[in-house]
Structure 1
Amino acid sequence: MNKHEKLNYLELPARDLASTKTFFTNVFGWRFTDYGAEYTAFDNQGLEGGFYQADLVSRSDLGAALAVFYSTDLEQTLAKVEAAGGTVIKPIFAFPGGRRFHFTEPSGSEFAVWSEPAAN
């Protein structure tokens, strides 16, 4: 449901739309709708959005915003990311609110996944 003045849609660059779609389908179960050869949209993922064909990438070290997923099993999600061709660029680390890791998907854009602190 669209809500007044709330985040509604996120657009991200992708060098290789086909590889990006395959990656997000395999890891997170996303579905895509293509709008021509240079744009694909996703929905029903907490925030709707799309990927557009671009030579650039979205990386936090370049000043881009960082999209962060939540996982109840951080190690399992990390294994799925690696198995699907993602590259872990920051291994699991603790932060004041929990634990997380950062990865790039096959087109080179960065994402992160977080979870609650590990049980002692």
Structure 2
Amino acid sequence: MPTHHSLDYVEFTVRDLAEAKRFYADAFGWAFTDYGPTYAGIQGAEREVGGMEQTEAPRASGGGALAILYSDDLEASLEAVEASGGTVSKAIFSFPGGRRFHFLDPSGNELAVWTLA
């Protein structure tokens, strides 16, 4: 079970999903679960620990990984982010298995927070 406000999931943006899967499988032995033509989950020893999303352009923050935290109370976490000086960059939305929002920290780094459905 995820732990409140712990680092829970990391997403990478990639230009070619098939090539990225090949590279990480070859280099590190990673296994994947495909969720359509543009997304694959990264399987850890006991559960999914990350994912890769194929995009034509990097994230607005300049690309790279997206750190995703878990929350027991998504709305309270959103309020805490805003109260602490963060900026919500993507309002709460649903996805298969849960809901999440994205935010920018005061330095402009993008992170996300999710909860179970």
- TM-score normalized with structure 1 length: 0.47
